[in-house]
Amino acid sequence: MHVPIERLAIDIKEGLCESKVVAKQYGHVEIYWGGNLAEQIEFLAKGVADVILSKENVMQALMAESTHNYRPIIGYQNYTAFFISNKEKPKLNKAYFLDKRIGLLDYPTSRSGHILPKQAFKQLDIDLDALDIVYASTHTSLRDKLAKGEVDIISSYWRKDDQVRFSNNYIVPIGGEIVGSRWFLKMNDENIDLACELQSVISALARSQSSSYFKSLQQYWQCEKSPYHFLGEQV
């Protein structure tokens, strides 16, 4: 399995290792993590990972679905990226950002926390070396830094519970709708048991997250319990 960040690798490992279906089919679990797009491309191009969290456009570009039979199991909803401030509405001009402490994510494959804000700075003709950028490992960490005043502005998506600490009057969109990531399973056979088990494990992990975004999932498999009921041996 390959995922973009260490925290996610740690969180999902427990559910996978406790799964009887995974134990029966694999015996053990290996999880690799890294936000480097080149690493993700290598995993996909060679079909190294049985399960991978990726974007549909990356899958299409590498033809991984047709080459290695990767099929979507479960996916996150589409979203919009925003610059978020705690004290004022951000302004999309060069002068505004030059004296701000800016919070971004430290993994380069995040569109809302890394790619889109840096694209915005480039469009505004801002040299990244001229900016005071503070990196964080998660979107939650970014929000904590903003709430504590450690940064003046962050780049992220807007969550329903953000209204508790921040104001939606102090956000500015920096990109159109972003297609959410999806979990893909390499399926050479119609391995329904594994597909449904992965969908169940990932759904349970999502429900345990504090962010409402991760709880809004699109499931691609109709998984139901068997309609057959087996009786024990009768004496």
pLDDT in tens, 61-77: 888 888 899 999 999 88
Name which of 104-108, 171-175, 223-227 the model is least confident about.
223-227
Lay out the sheet containing 153-157: strands in order across.
132-136, 101-105, 153-157, 81-85, 171-173
Q: How confident is the prediction for the chain on average, in pLDDT?
A: 87
CATH code linked to domain 2-76+181-219: 3.40.190
Quick one: which of 119, 140, 137, 136 has its CA closest to 128? 119
Which region, left, alpha or beta, applies to residue 53 given φ > 0 means left and ψ of -120 to 50 means alpha? beta
Segment 6-13 mean pLDDT: 88
Which residues fall within 8 angstroms of residue 61, CB to CB, at 6 or more apart?
Answer: none
Q: What is the DSSP letter of 63?
A: T
The fraction of the chain above a pLDDT of 70, given in percent, is 91
Counting every residue written for the chain, the total comes to 235
Segment 139-162 mean pLDDT: 93
Measured distance CA(183)–CA(199) in Å, rounded: 9
User: For residue 219, which phi and psi values (nearest 5 degrees)?
Assistant: -95, 130
Q: What is the DSSP letter of 106?
A: S
Segment 108-133 mean pLDDT: 92
Higher local confidence (pLDDT), 129 or 231: 129
Measured distance CA(110)–CA(180) in Å, rounded: 11
Q: What is the DSSP letter of 112?
A: I
Residue 227 has pLDDT above 60, yes or no: no
Task: Enter the pTM of the model.
Answer: 0.68
Residue pair 76/212 in contact (Cβ under 8 Å)? The answer is: no
Measured distance CA(44)–CA(47) in Å, rounded: 5
Residue 230 has pLDDT above 60, yes or no: no
User: For residue 180, which phi and psi values (nearest 5 degrees)?
Assistant: -65, 155
Give the pLDDT band (50/70/90) at residue 215: low
Neighbours of 203 (CB within 10 A): 17
Delimit the domains of the chain by residue range: 2-76+181-219, 81-173
Segment 215-235 mean pLDDT: 59
Give the pLDDT band (50/70/90) at residue 234: very low
Q: What is the DSSP letter of 170?
A: G
Segment 35-48 mean pLDDT: 82
Residue 199 has pLDDT above 70, yes or no: yes
Residue 169 has pLDDT above 90, yes or no: yes
- CATH ID of 81-173, from 3.30.300.30, 3.40.50.720, 3.40.190.10, 3.20.20.140: 3.40.190.10
Residue 111 has pLDDT above 90, yes or no: no
pLDDT for the residue 145: 97
Which residues fall within 8 angstroms of residue 125, CB to CB, at 6 or more apart?
Answer: 94
Indicate if 81-173 has the same CATH topology as 2-76+181-219.
yes
Measured distance CA(208)–CA(100) in Å, rounded: 34
Residue 144 has pLDDT above 70, yes or no: yes
pLDDT for the residue 233: 40
Residue 82 has pLDDT above 80, yes or no: yes
Measured distance CA(172)–CA(88) in Å, rounded: 10
Segment 38-45 mean pLDDT: 84
